Amino acid sequence: MVASAHDIPAAPDAGFSLIELLVAVAVLALAAVTMLEHQSQAISMTSQVEQRTLAAIVAENRLALALGHTEQPPSGTRTGQEQQLGASFTWRETVRPAPGGDLIIINVRVTGEGSATELASLTGYRKAQ
């Protein structure tokens, strides 16, 4: 018995339809956009942490200078600029007597250059002379 082309059963359609392919591409595109948004946020947060860390170093340096001198720093407020790794910061150092008179309080606040946002603040105490 010889089989003719009409006797062979037709195979069911195999593979993906165009609609299924478009849906898969759309899902992948949404996932990629979400990942890019998260990556952008991570980069921004890293930059902010770096600025705060550098500002903390500036504050620590200023406080160490004030606490390490043999002469007591004069009461009042001083401001200045300092650079760390190419970034500019503005510091504000306030020296005042503590209640009771035995100590002085030294407060250092650091902002980014041209910004009012405080990035770091440290307070130290020193024996009054």
CATH among 3.30.460.10, 3.30.1300.30, 3.30.1490.20, 2.40.110.10 for 18-127: 3.30.1300.30
pTM: 0.69
Could you tell me the CA-to-CA distances from 123 to 47, 49, 91, 104, 115 in Å, in that order? 25, 21, 13, 10, 21
16-42 pLDDT, tens digit each: 788 988 999 999 999 999 898 889 888
60-112 pLDDT, tens digit each: 999 999 888 888 888 899 999 999 989 999 999 999 998 987 899 999 999 99
